[in-house]
Amino acid sequence: MNMVILTGAGISAESGVPVFRGDDGLWEGHRVEDVATPEGFRRDPQLVHEFYNKRREKLLTVEPNPAHHALARLARDLKGSLTLVTQNIDDLHERGGSPEVLHMHGELLKSRCTQCGGVMECREDMSRASICPACGGIDCLRPHVVWFGEMPFHLDEVGSALHRADLFVSIGTSGRVYPAAGFVELAASSGARTLELNLEESAATEVFSECRQGPASELVPAWVD
């Protein structure tokens, strides 16, 4: 049984990581164009560093929830036949015990040098770490995340996993951001069954063969176990 699981901000919401869209969503108070595009970073790198520094500080204070732990159990049971791809840039899947996580939108706890492309751990205020330890460049570090208009990571690997999937499960995503939002159609066109686990209806709900609604920390363990 080949399975692909896609997660979004909703799986980390009960850990205390804010989602993007919704009342106190991350995009509230920030224009996406200003904090999640390469143009915004070029215009005002300090603003963007502050946006990600705040999220990094918050991430270091939260813990994985039962949904993350349940997916780690599933990975152990399914061994190599589970592909876990996340839109999230937090490390809660890893801390919850998942052995392999494809971060298609990058990782909050990493920075990348815009001169040499070097990727390094980053757990502090990146705007102060202005020298690249890999190439010695000055003021050349950016968050290692995928902004709007940038190519997501791991698309080839995810594409082939979707092609051979028997089951595609989407957990905690609004289904508004592409190419992730198109994965369900790719899986269905390859003959996979599709299941959505989400707090409420998403933009893609009617495409799924089955949908269950509720908080991920209850839905995911009930489904896995």
CA–CA distance from 78 to each of 71, 83, 139, 193, 221 (Å)? 10, 10, 44, 17, 15
Structure tokens at 150: 């940038």
Distance (Å, whole) CA 53 – CA 203: 30
CB atoms within 10 A of CB 214: 13
Q: Is 166 annotated as a binding residue?
A: no
| Under rule CB under 6 A, residue 40 binds ligand BV8 | no
Does residue 14 touch ligand BV8 according to CB under 6 A?
A: yes
Q: Does 173 bind ligand BV8 (CB under 6 A)?
A: yes
Q: Does 65 bind ligand BV8 (CB under 6 A)?
A: no
87 binds ligand BV8 (CB under 6 A): yes
Gap between the Cα atoms of 116 and 24, Å rounded = 37
Contact criterion met (CB below 8 Å) for 2 and 58: no
Q: Which is nearer to ligand BV8, 19 or 140 (CB)?
A: 19
Q: Which of 15, 83, 194, 198 binds ligand BV8 (CB under 6 A)?
A: 198
The answer to whether 9 contacts ligand BV8 (rule: CB under 6 A) is: yes
Per-position DSSP letters for 46-76, written without gaps between them: HHHHHHHHHHHHHHTT----HHHHHHHHHHH
Helix (H) or strand (E) holding 185: helix 183-189
The catalytic residue among 49, 105, 144, 154 is 105
Residues in the interface with ligand BV8 (CB under 6 A) total 36
Cβ neighbours, 10 Å, residue 46: 10
Environment class of 28 (CB within 10 Å of its CB; exposed 0-12, middle 13-18, buried 19+): exposed
Nearer to ligand BV8, 133 or 179 (CB): 179
DSSP 122: -
Piece of the chain touching ligand BV8 by CB under 6 A; list 75-83, 91-99, 112-120, 177-185: 177-185
* C-beta atoms surrounding 19 within 10 Å: 21
Q: Binding of ligand BV8 at residue 152 (CB under 6 A)?
A: yes
Q: How far is the CB of 139 from ligand BV8 (least distance, A)?
A: 21
**Among residues 15, 98, 170, 174, which is the contact residue for ligand BV8, using CB under 6 A?**
174
Q: Answer yes or no whether residue 158 interacts with ligand BV8 by CB under 6 A.
A: no
Catalytic annotation present for 105: yes
Binding site for ligand BV8 (CB under 6 A): 8-10, 13-14, 19-22, 25, 36, 87-89, 105, 145-152, 172-174, 176-179, 198-200, 202, 215-216
* Residues annotated catalytic, as ranges: 105
Task: Write out the binding residues for Zn(2+).
Answer: 113, 116, 132, 135
